[in-house]
């Protein structure tokens, strides 16, 4: 899936803004501290044609009609000699001098990126992984580990807050469960209807799901709004940032991001909620190029890996060690 058109920090030069039109970068970059305009940049004026230099008489032995043949230069000769500049290889898969460098050569421009106004190269096998705000995308394994840590914390909160409601629900559901288990053990083939659950079973189930959803929201939304990190993401060195700017999510964006994944908890009684959450959790496996889950797409966020801060070595050197 493509990124929506708009102004974004240039992955090749995080100190500049560039306009992405949905297929490539458009226009020249502007400094990161400047405020980008509301729409796309104005079209750049076409450069005026340069006057052709006066040609000199060709020297003897210089092939006539060869590009760049001027006095004092001797062009190579022989069968199969390519013209001056980058020549396309057999098959014409890579551009020549007007389209970019030959295979294996660095692309000209700041920090190895394309020159102003040119799209990123799309040669087969040379796709560059996006680096939103100059940071690498978070790995799927690290994101899974962070989510499992958060699930364990929310489950512990439910054990403390929801224990009484769960115990009462089990008591209400025990008559039909006990009778069904007896029939299985004794191989009773009777067709009589199982005993009904208690009258409060339905209300307790709704209360349990509401409390579980509220605990999850209270754990995740405020921390994501202020720091872009839950406890699990801090442990794994991950952070959630808006696609458009390296800034805190804010409460509204954090709530939209959580709603897509958290609100289906209310539908767990019919298994639909769990299925929706499973699809959302697996969606980064199939999303390109930013590996966004469905809740990331709704909030226009991306999960990045923060750089590891090296631990300073403050231990004193042993006596006599001057290294």
Q: What's the pLDDT score for residue 167?
A: 93
Q: What's the pLDDT score for residue 2?
A: 61
Q: Where does 23-182 show beta strands of DSSP type E?
A: 25-31
Provide the residue-wise pLDDT of the chain in tens; the chain has 323 residues: 567 788 777 777 777 877 777 777 777 787 877 777 777 877 766 667 776 666 555 545 444 444 444 444 444 445 444 444 444 444 444 444 444 455 445 544 444 445 555 554 454 545 577 889 899 999 999 999 999 999 999 999 999 999 999 999 999 988 888 988 888 888 888 888 888 888 888 899 999 999 999 999 999 999 999 999 999 999 999 999 999 888 899 999 999 999 999 999 999 888 899 999 999 999 999 998 999 999 999 999 999 999 986 545 555 555 555 44
CB atoms within 10 A of CB 286: 8
Q: What's the pLDDT score for residue 196?
A: 86
Q: What's the pLDDT score for residue 193?
A: 86
Q: What's the pLDDT score for residue 207?
A: 94
pLDDT in tens, 3-59: 778 877 777 777 787 777 777 777 778 787 777 777 787 776 666 777 666 655 554
Q: Are 304 and 297 in contact (CB under 8 A)?
A: no
Q: What's the pLDDT score for residue 190?
A: 83
Q: What's the pLDDT score for residue 40?
A: 80
Q: Structure pTM?
A: 0.56
Phi, psi of 132, deg, nearest 5: -60, 125
Q: Are 28 and 41 in contact (CB under 8 A)?
A: yes
Beta bridge partners of 2: none
Place of tokens 């898969």: 93
Q: Are 200 and 172 in contact (CB under 8 A)?
A: yes
In order, the DSSP letters of 229-260 are --HHHHHHTEEEEESS-SS--HHHHHHHHHHH
Give dist(CA 161, CA 86) in Å, integer.
Answer: 70
Burial environment of residue 213 by CB neighbours within 10 A (0 to 12, 13 to 18, 19 or more): middle
Q: What's the pLDDT score for residue 203?
A: 92
Q: Are 243 and 298 in contact (CB under 8 A)?
A: no
3-state DSSP call for residue 163?
helix
């Amino acid at each position: 899936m493509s990124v929506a058109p708009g102004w974004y920090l240039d992955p090749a030069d995080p100190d500049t803004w560039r306009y992405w039109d949905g297929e490539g970068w458009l226009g020249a970059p502007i400094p990161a501290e400047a405020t980008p305009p509301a729409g796309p940049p104005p079209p750049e004026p076409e450069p005026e044609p340069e006057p052709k230099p006066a040609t000199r008489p060709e020297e003897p032995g210089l092939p006539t009609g060869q590009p760049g043949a001027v006095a004092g230069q001797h062009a190579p000769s022989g069968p199969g000699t390519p013209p001056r500049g980058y020549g396309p290889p057999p098959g014409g898969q890579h551009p020549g001098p007007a389209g970019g460098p030959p295979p294996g050569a660095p692309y000209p421009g700041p920090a190895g990126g394309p020159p102003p106004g040119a799209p990123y190269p799309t040669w087969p096998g040379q796709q560059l992984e996006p680096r939103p705000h100059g940071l690498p995308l978070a790995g799927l394994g690290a994101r899974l580990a962070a989510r499992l840590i958060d699930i364990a914390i929310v489950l512990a909160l439910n054990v403390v807050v929801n224990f009484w409601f769960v115990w009462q629900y089990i008591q209400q559901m025990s008559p039909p469960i006990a009778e069904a288990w007896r029939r299985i053990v004794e191989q009773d083939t009777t067709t009589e209807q199982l005993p009904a659950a208690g009258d409060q079973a339905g209300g307790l189930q709704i209360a349990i799901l509401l409390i579980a959803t509220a605990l999850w929201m209270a754990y995740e939304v405020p921390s994501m709004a202020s720091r872009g990190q839950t406890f699990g993401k801090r442990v794994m060195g991950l952070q959630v940032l808006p696609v458009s700017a390296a800034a805190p999510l804010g409460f509204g964006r954090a709530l939209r991001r959580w709603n897509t994944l958290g609100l289906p908890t209310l539908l767990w009684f019919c298994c639909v909620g769990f299925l929706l959450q499973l699809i959302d959790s697996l969606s980064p496996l199939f999303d390109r190029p930013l590996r966004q889950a469905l809740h990331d797409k709704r909030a226009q966020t991306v999960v990045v890996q923060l750089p590891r801060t090296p631990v300073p070595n403050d231990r004193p050197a042993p006596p006599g060690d001057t290294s």
